[in-house]
Chain A
Amino acid sequence: AQSVTQLDSQVPVFEEAPVELRCNYSSSVSVYLFWYVQYPNQGLQLLLKYLSGSTLVKGINGFEAEFNKSQTSFHLRKPSVHISDTAEYFCAVSSPAGNKLTFGGGTRVLVKP
């Protein structure tokens, strides 16, 4: 069975400051990893994904994430946030041969001016 833990339920951050959202997963097999963003009253949108290859993955809107197999982590970072980055962020995992996408509990990011 797979599981995903997002260590912070809420992250307040000032505009133009960096932000890091932590994600740890557990799985007995190899994994695919995803970060999705949900803006208020909308569905989820894909930010980035890791399938294989380079462990540093770049996504949309200036976000990037690093896959660390030894620490079973996939933390999301942005060097300078904007007010428009206020949203909820979800980490998710699946296996190449799996039959479902497992989501973490989400991290709410509130960007303050």
Chain B
Amino acid sequence: NAGVTQTPKFRVLKTGQSMTLLCAQDMNHEYMYWYRQDPGMGLRLIHYSVGEGTTAKGEVPDGYNVSRLKKQNFLLGLESAAPSQTSVYFCASSEAWAGQPQHFGDGTRLSIL
């Protein structure tokens, strides 16, 4: 029972490089989310999706892009990585928005040098 799977688990990038983080869920959830976690700041929503082919901006979208080409996958892209994007990134999915719990992956630790 995989739930939400994130790849890779760790990555080190140089400033200016690009990369894509992959999130896959096997629960047939409509909604998917990308968060970043920084010490003392909790989780902040980057982008989210309410269904295949849809995406929307969250609280901190600058410097990131996303795509939801398939219902089970949600990709987060960094076009030109900056040191300020060093963080732990979490993907989550849920059946609906408000009252349903979100199911989280184990995170991707990303360091930008």
Count, A-B residue pairs, CB within 8 A: 57
Residues of A within 8 A of B (CB): 4, 6, 9, 32, 34, 41-46, 49, 51, 90, 94-101, 103-106
Interface of B is mostly: loop
- B110 interfacial contact with A, CB 8 Å: no
Contact A100 B41 (CB under 8 A): no
Contact A44 B43 (CB under 8 A): yes
Contact A96 B106 (CB under 8 A): no
19 extra interchain contacts, Cβ-Cβ under 8 A, other than A42-B106, A43-B106, A99-B97? Answer: A6-B42, A41-B106, A43-B4, A43-B90, A43-B92, A44-B104, A45-B104, A49-B99, A49-B101, A51-B99, A98-B98, A100-B58, A100-B59, A103-B42, A103-B43, A104-B42, A105-B41, A105-B42, A106-B40
Name which residue of chain A comes closest to B4, CB basis: A43
Interface size, B (range): 20 to 34
For B92, what are the chain A residues with a Cβ–Cβ distance below 8 Å? 43-44
Selected A-B contacts with CB under 8 Å, 18 pairs: A6-B42, A32-B98, A32-B99, A41-B106, A41-B107, A42-B106, A43-B104, A44-B90, A44-B92, A45-B104, A46-B101, A46-B102, A49-B101, A90-B42, A98-B97, A99-B48, A100-B48, A103-B42
